Chain A
Amino acid sequence: MEYEAIIGLEVHVQANTATKMFCACPNNFGSEPNTNVCPICLGYPGVLPTPNREAINKTVLAGLMLNCEIPEFSKFDRKAYWYPDMPKNYQITQYDLPFCIDGKVLVEGKALTGELEPKYIGITRIHLEEDVGKSTHAGTYTGVDYNRAGVPLMEIVSEPDMRTADEAWAYLTALRQTMQYAGVGNCDMEKGQMRCDVNISVRPVGQKEFNTKTEIKNLNSIKSVHASIDYEIERQIEMLENNEEFKQQTRGWNEASQETYVMREKEDAHDYRYFPEPDLMPVVLTADKVAEIKEKMPETPAAKRARFVEELGLPAYDAQVLCLEKATADWYETAVATGADPKKVSNWIMTELLRELSDAGLSINECPITPENLGELLGLIDKKVINGRIAKEVFAEMFKTGDAPGKIVKDKGLEQVTDTSAISEFVIQAIDNNEKAVGEYLAGKETALNFLVGQVMRFSRGKANPNLAQEALKEELAKRG
């Protein structure tokens, strides 16, 4: 029998505001425990919340980027939930009137294990809520740090539109990309800035109704989301084949064994007792206000990819790689703006720059080379000041020192030698030192010439213009023949 998986994701993204959602404490990762707290985010007696404008604007911007509708009327609600890292034992969230509804996001191109046909994944809603503190479990006790409590958290709920691990991977990648493009969240999953829960069930192809779903939690990377889905699909198919009974489960992901495991068999009957937050007034987002936010909306990753293909003539794969991170795409566009050939810039970034960055463990924002300098380097090649081989050497030096290519070429005397008298000196050296090759060439073996050109380059330490070198060689050999 053939099966298909039904996958929906609930993704939490911390908004990268300066302060927390409902108080003026800094929204900082990595501070000393319990230092970014105040009576409000600790839930002290008598305190009241006040919502952060920037968090709301960022949520709306995220929604616009994901093609959501922004309802005019939104409000906050309380959700009852007992947990030591939840200071008030209720969370301020949005129940029935979230800031964003009915969005969609395009997934396409190369995914982790295969190529995807373009497809839209529906977004049910994005609501804004407050994050909880962080519990550290130490055997007999649990220690709580409330620095994270109250950090603005967007929850993005997808439709159950995904069918494969690759689609979920692509959806998450697209979401992260979009958040970063919009500048609303840093989405570092290791820092917990982006967290993902997977809802998944499997059914025989052709069956209309959904089977009982499983929720997977504790996923620390997009890769583990992918792996856990693949694992879970297989596990559930096996259960179906064996006619095993399904119970609604919450499962965790064991990164070491690459397996899911049962966290909770049957959910404790949750009764969240939502009701409108009496301490907060409703939010009205007029069309004008939304338009104002829309004006600041950057190009979406999908639009940027399309433009790179259509206007700059890049292959789709290049566009996908360059647009993965907005910073990379921006870097690329700045380099192209210097007048360099778009495809050549793309090649340099994809083959040289990204590799160097990855080896050095740096992000594009920390790149020692400026895009203007890469443009300049390509210009030097075009103007034949240096050749391609020297350019790679210069590039490595640029990466090491951050110096401009012109300066490096000048300081190191790497200008291409175009002076024919200088070149003929290297030609004579090459001929004198390679009698065998010369003999072969003169005997009619054309390929021996390439070897001799290489020798000229070697004696010139790469600086000779290869075309001029070849001509001069032919000339000189003709004399000898």
Chain B
Amino acid sequence: MSESDIQVAHIAKLARLQLTPEEEAEFQTEIEAILSYVDKLQNLNVDGVEPTAHATQITNVIRDDVSGKTQDREKTLANAPDVADEVLLKVPAVLGGAH
């Protein structure tokens, strides 16, 4: 059973990658090959098996609500590619307003 019917163009959009047509074609072929190998997973019987999300089985790693050091704004702005009004990080206009 093959599960892979990947549309690289669509997935690249989800991942915010602007592929060239050449890249798109190349990745489509390569990733299909990888997926057809990965698809051997479909043969494995995993009924009743719990998924592993972490390599260790620790729980409740929680910190106390105590404030610590913040980063100097100069450093934040120095790393930013573009700055607005001397205090904000600047990006081109966000279309469509809020979330």
Contacts and interface: CB of A to CB of B under 8 A. Distances in A.
Interface of A: 17-19, 23-26, 32-39, 42, 50-56, 75, 80, 82-84, 132, 135-146, 217-218, 252, 263-264, 271, 273, 276, 278, 280-284
Interface in B55-99: 56, 58-71, 73, 76-77, 84-85, 87-94, 96-99
Please classify the interface of chain A as helix (H, G, I), strand (E, B), loop, or mixed, using the class held by over half of its residues.
Answer: loop
B34 interface: no
7 contacts: A23-B68, A26-B67, A26-B70, A36-B70, A53-B63, A83-B94, A144-B91
Given A137-B97, A141-B91, A271-B14, A34 B65 contact: no
Nearest to B11: A271
Given A138-B84, A143-B88, A283-B60, A53 B93 contact: no
Contacts of A282: 59
Nearest to B75: A39
B93 A141 contact: yes
Given A54-B65, A273-B14, A35 B73 contact: yes
A34 B58 contact: no
A55 to B, nearest CB: 7
B53 interface: yes
A373 to B, nearest CB: 35
Contacts of B77: 34
Contact of B60 (A136, A142, A252, A284): A284
A38 B71 CA distance: 5
Contacts of B99: 83, 132, 217
B14 A142 contact: no
Given A141-B84, A142-B91, A146-B89, A34 B76 contact: yes
Nearest to B57: A281
A35 B54 CA distance: 34
Contacts, number: 127
B69 A38 contact: yes
Contacts of B40: none
A288 B98 CA distance: 42
B54 A281 contact: yes
A143 B84 contact: yes
Contacts of B14: 80, 271, 273
Given A42-B71, A52-B65, A281-B60, A33 B87 contact: yes
Contacts of B61: 50-51, 280-281
B7 to A, nearest CB: 12
Given A34-B76, A143-B89, A276-B53, A53 B69 contact: no
Interface in B9-41: 14, 16
A54 B67 CA distance: 12
A25 B68 contact: yes
A132 B98 CA distance: 11
